[in-house]
Structure 1
């Protein structure tokens, strides 16, 4: 049951706080991971609030955290209504008097949180972290944490669902559950839940921006801290045979420091060099807080028809993906994260888009380490622009932009911000909607280009101010079905027209075809592995011929679960070049031949 567009009736509305720095353990900071088996019960009658379950409830069964609930229990596949989680923990020794925060990596969709019966607050929207001040409510002995989660679909939520039919909007298909997007609306606590302790006077945020001047790297750092007495802030960079440091006196809550790295080792896909940035606060020569994070020195720019990394043109080759795995749903599965990177590397990919929501911080850490380029996308998928609820959808999109930039601003792997996927943006209000989001994103991070992924063939007015163009195209599948040559010709014409209209680099962020694993035909027919392989191969050949095409992302890396709908056999989107359990289809082998050959050719040209 949706209550007031996301707010829970009967509770004083208190919001969560944006979470930026990922918790770490060191001499001044400690982390308690609360993931594991929690108590759980469904609340289909929405009785828990009035019954006071925030102070504790009689559990029905255990549940794994992190994970979606939909595939853990047979009766819960399509259940999106209220459900309750609780767990007990003992506060570690020595945490008394410290600044203690309770942090959630992702809860989808609406979360309300109680600690020892005290309502800490709420957070709306999945896929991004949030946290609360837990210190005033903690006990020296056993503590009880309760979370109410609700994932109902509604028109004024983002992503929206249960959208009323309107001939001016293009939602031709209805499905179950009634989403406006083509992936399953998994519910639950999807990423780790941690309690972390810092000193009262602590570093709260670091913002890193890098530049290259010849062989010299410039690293500008803004340090934010909690209010406190005067202190000394020391920042150091170490790695690749270099170590530099600077100190400043800190009387207020912020400090800005520039570090210079002679003979810098830049970060790039070919050489993902990382330095360790360490920030320390001290008083009287004694260090009382420390935080470190990896830093990659690199630049991202758009010039003419090219996307440049460190001043050199780059061609993105990779995938759209989903955080989707059997039983766990959208929950974090570390082995699956490792496997997906290995598969992408095997195929020859250098990039991916976080379609259609931000991926886990753990997965993003590996992108930095492994040198994958990332188009980082907000959860704004399936947006529509009817007046009713539009203001609230814009408010949520602003929130998501702020949360995403705060979380991922320091990651060298993130090279583009994507504001939305396939917005239904034919109405006049869409242009100003995205103009505002573009301006907000640029104000928070002027160092990265901003875009969105469009499905429209006609002019998309938001591209007027986006820094480059991202297009999702399915000629030969949803149009020209079974007619591949006609689809390839139409793709070529469409790309030329888009470039002529906007005069900006183009990335084709989706293309592909469904293929039932083990289904074959000669000649190729739709839904066979041969048809999928031929369609993807033909698209790649067209894209490689266009000098203004800066990237190609196949849809999708792996098959993934969807709502039930006539086009979705078994409730699955089968456009993966790997199956949901990561077995290759013919298209994966074909892509490997194309992309590895192209990579070898690009390397030879660079050396020549």
Structure 2
């Protein structure tokens, strides 16, 4: 047996992390591996563009006992009753799923839709606490159960839950109603204008989660920063209960023969474990270990990989070795079905396409993707860039908007902090350079580092030059760990061969990364390379870009071109070549590879040989 030395620590840094978690004391993590009942399936709906079920005719929110409120549980049995709404199987919708793809009348709909279903529950187990957990709802969710409002959540791509008071539950026919509103607004995250489809609905899993009175709410388990170089490596982290308790928690990693009983006096405990047996996670060998966390009342399991990512001397390093990110940007969308991706099967499909390209990294743009994606990336050995939708022209002067951005940042990091695949947290995309914006974004960078010091922090900057030396000197680059920039030389300016006239530099001694580059190619449009929108033009674009990549400075750390698949966007309105689609994908609407795919794959094959010897 390997010698294992175990010690307990509770540093100022970890205390800070615990304090930062207080804003989410009600959010349960690792729901997939807890006792739960799925509420996925067929729900009934009412389209409510005037929000009649929520507001009365004076535009005041309806009261709990208002018979015209769409969450009301009263029965209308008298023939003289006036009732102007009702749920019926005639209007049914699948959950999880966006509404846009489920009926033609929803295609461009933005507004409120009421969702309703009922469920039964065994009330004999009164010792358990019950939570209603949503993987995501776009954008605002007002949640009601048996006529009582449980709460409101804003943010279309992060999880939330509410504890259900046992007093309002019934054994049969519990009425669950959710008002979903996907209208865009200037003071929301994202703001009113984006370049992707605003899919509305309950887009991710819904579960009832059962936990004991005192339970493990969340935890962080990772390789200690810098310990990858030591003979005896350190696994460290913390475990947080939902409330203060005097209780033992057992941490176990069976394959490493680690088992330690931790005494919690309060709500949190930090730990540090030394072992020489751990195999480090990498894209070539994505080793995951089963981790068990148990109390007298529950046992939680997870699959966790251990690795170290850092920036050293302007280079991006994994486990002490320089890496090159052969990336691709991905939207959470299944093009051939024109819908949001949401399932484990969808994740395997999208990430499988990335693997076909010989990518070792995916940029999950422009919002946190579903948990199946990050867990699949763990097992497939793909690096992940995960991002919040601070996008383009939000109100950078608003403290309220900043608070919303921080909330989404915290929710993203909290859910996925134990995923080895995630090496980059991104705080935004293509934000305009102003003093207010840089202050706003720098606060998000600082918040990210408060919550997680084990990963790289980035933001996708912009470059518009098409010739000469392009020096990236955006002031936000002083705060991020890498300098990531979106450039479209030859698509949004000039022609692809303008890339031959460009060289790159940055004022910061940090890795330089192209977070986007690309050109549209309409699948099946075959012409000469000068015909814009043809597959040949897109192919030429990538050939010229690859030539430029090969002339990049030594701190060039990789790229994530835009994008894996064609995707829906209302901004793209050419009547024959777009029709509401952004066609920059390397795969077309039906999953067919375009000519440009093979150009990028050949380059990635070459870079794999160079860096993965």
Class of the TM-score when normalised by the shorter of the 2 chains: 0.7 to 0.9
Question: Which structure 2 residues correspond to residues 41-52 of structure 1 after superposition, within 5 A?
Answer: 41-50=46-55, 51-52=68-69
Deviations 1:497-548 (A, max 9, x none): xx2x222111101111101101111344211111112212321232233221
Q: Output the CA distance in 2 between the equivalents of 1:386 and 1:466.
A: 18
Q: Output the CA distance in 2 between the equivalents of 1:147 and 1:16.
A: 21
Q: Output the CA distance in 1 between the equivalents of 2:350 and 2:513.
A: 22
From 414, 427, 431, the equivalent of 1:419 is 427
From 52, 56, 59, the equivalent of 2:87 is 59
Question: Which structure 2 residues correspond to residues 95-494 of structure 1 after superposition, within 5 A?
Answer: 95-136=125-166, 137-161=168-192, 180-211=193-224, 212-227=228-243, 229-239=245-255, 242-282=256-296, 288-325=297-334, 326-327=336-337, 329-385=339-395, 387=397, 390-423=398-431, 425-457=432-464, 459-480=473-494, 483-486=495-498, 488-490=499-501, 492-493=502-503
For the residue of structure 2 that corresponds to 1:293, the secondary structure is strand
Q: Output the CA distance in 1 between the equivalents of 2:375 and 2:561.
A: 23
2:121 aligns to what? 91
Q: Output the CA distance in 2 between the equivalents of 1:185 and 1:328.
A: 12
1:550 aligns to what? 557
From 9, 32, 41, the equivalent of 1:36 is 41
Tell me the C-alpha RMSD between the 2 structures.
1.9
Structure 1's consecutive aligned runs of 4 or more residues displaced over 4 angstroms after TM superposition are 15-18
Q: Output the CA distance in 2 between the equivalents of 1:194 and 1:473.
A: 41
TM-fit CA distance, 1:564:
4.2
| Pair 386,257 (structure 1): closer, same or farther in 2 beyond 3 Å | closer
| Pair 47,21 (structure 1): closer, same or farther in 2 beyond 3 Å | same
For the residue of structure 2 that corresponds to 1:554, the secondary structure is coil
Mean Cα deviation higher: 403-412 or 248-257: 248-257
Question: Which structure 2 residues correspond to residues 562-577 of structure 1 after superposition, within 5 A?
Answer: 562-566=569-573, 569-577=578-586
Q: Are 2:590 and 1:560 equivalent residues in the alignment?
A: no
| Cα pair 2:40 2:95 within 8 Å, conserved | yes
Q: Output the CA distance in 2 between the equivalents of 1:19 and 1:300.
A: 27
| Cα pair 2:137 2:156 within 8 Å, conserved | yes
Q: Output the CA distance in 2 between the equivalents of 1:382 and 1:94.
A: 52
Deviations 1:90-136 (A, max 9, x none): 11465423111111001000110001111000000111100101143
Q: Output the CA distance in 2 between the equivalents of 1:515 and 1:340.
A: 20
Deviations 1:176-204 (A, max 9, x none): xxxx2211111111100001101112111
List alignment gaps of at least 5 residues for structure 2.
1-22, 56-67, 74-84, 465-471
From 11, 19, 36, the equivalent of 2:27 is 19
Deviations 1:374-420 (A, max 9, x none): 11111212233464xx2222111111111111111111101011000
TM-fit CA distance, 1:236:
1.0
List alignment gaps of at least 5 residues for structure 1.
1-14, 162-179, 283-287
Q: Output the CA distance in 2 between the equivalents of 1:444 and 1:523.
A: 48
TM-fit CA distance, 1:71:
2.1
From 532, 551, 557, the equivalent of 1:526 is 532
Mean Cα deviation higher: 591-600 or 36-45: 591-600
Q: Output the CA distance in 1 between the equivalents of 2:333 and 2:483.
A: 27
| Pair 513,328 (structure 1): closer, same or farther in 2 beyond 3 Å | closer
TM-fit CA distance, 1:216:
2.9
| Cα pair 1:324 1:560 within 8 Å, conserved | yes
Q: Output the CA distance in 2 between the equivalents of 1:16 and 1:228.
A: 15
Q: Output the CA distance in 2 between the equivalents of 1:20 and 1:272.
A: 26
From 539, 544, 567, the equivalent of 1:538 is 544
| Cα pair 2:45 2:115 within 8 Å, conserved | yes
TM-score norm. by structure 1 comes to 0.87
| Pair 256,16 (structure 1): closer, same or farther in 2 beyond 3 Å | closer
| Pair 456,397 (structure 1): closer, same or farther in 2 beyond 3 Å | farther
| Cα pair 2:485 2:514 within 8 Å, conserved | yes
